Amino acid sequence: MTDFQDRFFQHVDDNTRLYVDRLAEAVAIPSISSDLDAHLEDINKMIDWTKDHIERLGGNARVMDNPVATAERPLPPILLGDFIVDPEKKTVCVYGHLDVQPAAKEDGWDTDPFTLTEKDGKLFGRGSTDDKGPALSWLWIVEAHQQLGVELPVNIKIMYEGMEESSSDGLFETIVEESKEGKFLNDVDFFCISDNYWLGKAKPCLTYGLRGLAYFQVEVQGSEQDLHSGVLGGTVHEAMTDLVRIMGNLVDSKGNILVDGIMDSVKPVTQEETKMYDTIDFDMEEYKKENKIIGDKLLHDDRTRLLMGRWRYPTLSLHGIEGAFSGKGAKTVIPAKVLGKFSLRLVPDQKPKEIERLVAEHIKRDFASLGSPNKL
């Protein structure tokens, strides 16, 4: 390592407590984007907190109104910031997000998800890895260079959003607008997405691509009000029964997608690609342990096929059913209307519009085969 690298890593070690304390401040802000009615102000607070740190370090920062927000549906803004050290140097734009998924102890957390907790050398808290920790680390990198008296090797621009966990509403429109001549992104040479995971605990990953997402909801309605199963069970076509049949015919227990045509545009695996996977440092047993997998088997026994399942191939996952009873105890209601939620992870050459068409056709065809009078 160079002299600066030695000094840099020593500086990081010396300031670990400070970085952990700052992360604890950020984790404590419940910036949950899936519930804007309750948490829009928390997301705004998180964005302002980050903006203050950028400005404290001498950077420029501005909070940009979300371009798709309306009076009826207010949305969090997008944070743009920069540290320009030399116009002649290359410019890297870092993307990250400051919103998080919902979390509660009853979801299986051992500790309060919004209180950063140190345990066995690890930090537990919602957003600590996805994505507050990685996003904020860029600011501490800038700070470390400043405190060590070393100029940044590149100019850094920052684009942080508050809706990543909820479809990134407004991000695409912002990128298009800010890429125009003279705008924020026009002079960017490289982008770095600081929002991904390592495969294990020891070796970092350099990620060069991510799968896309197509999110679906399918609704079935059988009546105008919930019904009593003890009175009407056995006399009506139940919406839940139809929905479970539909969702159960989207993917099988081996993870194979059952929608016709989904795999048609997926490129075949080459020998060169397979060799690349074979050299990746990956421990399947550690993977199971780290993710608290119950049982002794993953979806694939072969490590290369397992990694391809995670990265290379499209997948379909079922996420939940809205409108059905999910509380504690027993309730014998027949729900009037239920909404199933699922998504596909897409790979290169798969077009979202085409995937949407294939899924819709599959569901309509499947529902028709049930002979149900319910409304899809």
Average pLDDT (84-99) is 97
pTM score: 0.77
User: So what's the pLDDT on residue 209?
Assistant: 83
Give residue for tokens 């009076």. Answer: 71
Q: What is the largest CA-CA distance in the chain?
A: 79
Name the active-site residue from 164, 165, 169, 238.
164
Name the active-site residue from 42, 82, 99, 130.
99
Average pLDDT (290-305) is 89
User: So what's the pLDDT on residue 278?
Assistant: 87
Q: Is 366 a catalytic residue?
A: no
d(CA 33, CA 69): 14
Q: Which two tokens stand for residue 244?
A: 């479970």
Terminal-residue alpha carbon distance, the chain: 63
Neighbours of 88 (CB within 10 A): 6
Q: Which two tokens stand for residue 126?
A: 């919602």
Tell whether the model's pLDDT for residue 201 goes beyond 80: no
Q: Is 169 a catalytic residue?
A: no
**Confidence bin at 208 (pLDDT 50/70/90):** confident
Find, among 94, 102, 118, 115, the residue nearest to 43 by Cα.
102
Domains of the chain by start residue, with CATH? 3-193 (3.40.630.10), 212-370 (3.30.70.360)
- CB contact set of 169 (below 8 Å; sequence gap of 6+): 66, 68, 75, 163
Lowest mean per-residue pLDDT among 18-32, 176-190, 281-295: 281-295
Q: Which two tokens stand for residue 120?
A: 């066995």
**Residue 210 to residues 125, 297, 314, Cα–Cα distance (Å):** 24, 25, 11
**Confidence bin at 311 (pLDDT 50/70/90):** very high
